[in-house]
Amino acid sequence: MCMIRANARAGNEVRRLPGAAIVPNHVRSQFGWSVAYHPIFPFSLTQIYRPGRIPLVRVGAIIRCQMTPLIGPIGKFCMRLLHIADVHLGRPFRWLGRERGSARRAELRATLGRAVALARERKVDALCIAGDLYERENALPAVGELLRETFAALENTPVLIAPGNHDYYSPGCLYDQTVWPANVHIFRQPALTPVRVADGVVWGLAFVGPERRASPLSGAVRPSSEREVVLCHAEVVESGGSSLFGPLEPSALATAGFRFALLGHVHRGQVDEARRFAYPGSLEPLDPREEGPRWALQIDVTGDGVTIEQIPIARRRAIQVELDVSEIRTRDDWERALAEWSPAWLDATVKLRLVGTLRGELSSRPEFIADSLADYDVDLEMLARPEEDLRMLARQQTTLGAFIRATQERIDGASDPAERIHWEDVLAVGLAAFRGQEVTLR
């Protein structure tokens, strides 16, 4: 059994709670000592027993003592982990342009800093990172130096890193170039290897290339206890499924004997306690289409199971917006509409679709729409089409006129909305082709 030390000084009164459940919840004190807390009364020490001995703590005692941990009716403490993944430091954000892309990269660094501060605040036994910590093709030595300094702030708290498909391990990569502090452990092998954490074990592996077709559990050694978890980059698949990114069947976790899997790769947070896995999601949305939750996950592992707390940490959210611009005719009209819509975009990464018909200035000078969005993280998709005088064009005795007349007949004779939309799209593509333009279909 491991030993638990309890420290009490003036102002930190240690109390015995008669009838208290004797299940400690381990945290690390500022001196690196372990303190046992009652699960319901988190600020008071519980009864602590050694086999055949009386309680060591008296009511109101001010003491310094050393005690043997216990096994209570609920279970015994194992380890507390903070689980994050998919940070993607160095992401180019090309769609945002140089200035705003640089600002977003700084936001990613700041959010990672908050995750590390959270690990320190929660006094976890290890910070676990399930891959894609950085983007390999954009990872300069400065990224390694930033990570070294960031993780060194955790001092004796282990940082466990399981490289994924974007930061895969190979000899000489950034993981090898960086001089890491002693508390950082990087899994470098494609097979699961163990690291002891508190009273449990974390098994991790590395992607060693941009793809991995084998299951993370392939060839795994069966754990010796129920207090052992997996940390890796993987894609959950159903029975018999395949993936280029570490296919993992949840049923195989229980069969292999692991308590839980701390996963990365999916950017939308997902917790499935019944099937024994969790994705925290990317620290921040990396693309406007990445709607949904994302967290840092505090995972408490005991011999009886896991308890998971979802801790929101992202400063941004991803949203998709569709706006009809058919009633907007002038630049002033557009700017007034933008002033009304944009307050909801200030903390968001936005996929903006403009639909309807471009009329007036929006038709003759559509470039000012994109210019007006420069101060927002907006990915613009222009689905609105310029207003056309089709009747006049159809009267022309030209190839264009003949095309419009024939297509308009199909539109007017459509038997259902889907067929009508199809021929309207044909007309739009044809008009764009005649003008040498591009068009986005609905």
The reply to whether 440 falls in a domain is no
Q: Does residue 157 sit in the same domain as residue 179? A: yes
Q: Does residue 71 sit in the same domain as residue 81? A: no
- On whether the CB atoms of residues 6 and 58 are closer than 8 A, the answer is no
Q: What domain count does the chain have?
A: 3
Q: Does residue 44 sit in the same domain as residue 166? A: no
Tell whether the torsion through CA atoms of 273, 277, 278 and 279 is positive or negative: negative
Pairing of strands 77-84, 126-129: parallel
pTM, 2 dp: 0.75
- The rounded mean pLDDT for the chain is 83
Q: Does residue 160 sit in the same domain as residue 279? A: yes
Q: Does residue 148 sit in the same domain as residue 226? A: yes
SS3 275: coil
Which residue type occupies 298?
Answer: Q
Q: Which residue has the tokens 């993936």?
A: 243
Q: Which H or E run includes 84?
A: strand 77-84
Q: Does residue 223 sit in the same domain as residue 341? A: no
Domain end residue (candidates: 19, 48, 75): 75
> Residue 357 class from Cβ within 10 Å (0-12 exposed, 13-18 middle, 19+ buried)?
middle
Q: What's the confidence (pLDDT) of residue 55?
A: 38
Positions in the chain short of pLDDT 70: 1-76, 437-442
Q: What's the confidence (pLDDT) of residue 39?
A: 38
How does pLDDT run across 59-93, given as a tens digit for each residue? Answer: 333 323 333 333 333 445 789 999 999 999 999 99
The reply to whether 442 falls in a domain is no
Q: Does residue 98 sit in the same domain as residue 206? A: yes
- Separation CA 350–CA 46 (nearest Å): 50
How does pLDDT run across 228-249, given as a tens digit for each residue? Answer: 999 999 999 999 999 999 999 9
- Separation CA 417–CA 109 (nearest Å): 49
The reply to whether 441 falls in a domain is no
DSSP 8-state secondary structure symbol assigned to residue 375: T
How does pLDDT run across 86-112, given as a tens digit for each residue? Answer: 999 999 999 898 999 999 999 999 999
Q: Does residue 65 sit in the same domain as residue 90? A: no
How does pLDDT run across 167-205, given as a tens digit for each residue? Answer: 999 999 999 999 999 999 999 999 999 999 999 999 999
How does pLDDT run across 141-157, given as a tens digit for each residue? Answer: 999 999 999 999 999 99
Q: What's the confidence (pLDDT) of residue 34?
A: 36
- Separation CA 433–CA 163 (nearest Å): 47
Q: Does residue 147 sit in the same domain as residue 232? A: yes
Q: Does residue 278 sit in the same domain as residue 323? A: no
The reply to whether 138 falls in a domain is yes
Q: What's the confidence (pLDDT) of residue 120?
A: 97
Q: Does residue 336 sit in the same domain as residue 420? A: yes
- Separation CA 142–CA 310 (nearest Å): 31
Q: Does residue 308 sit in the same domain as residue 222? A: yes
Q: What's the confidence (pLDDT) of residue 188?
A: 98
Domain containing 25 equals: 1-75
Q: What's the confidence (pLDDT) of residue 441?
A: 61
Q: What's the confidence (pLDDT) of residue 224?
A: 87
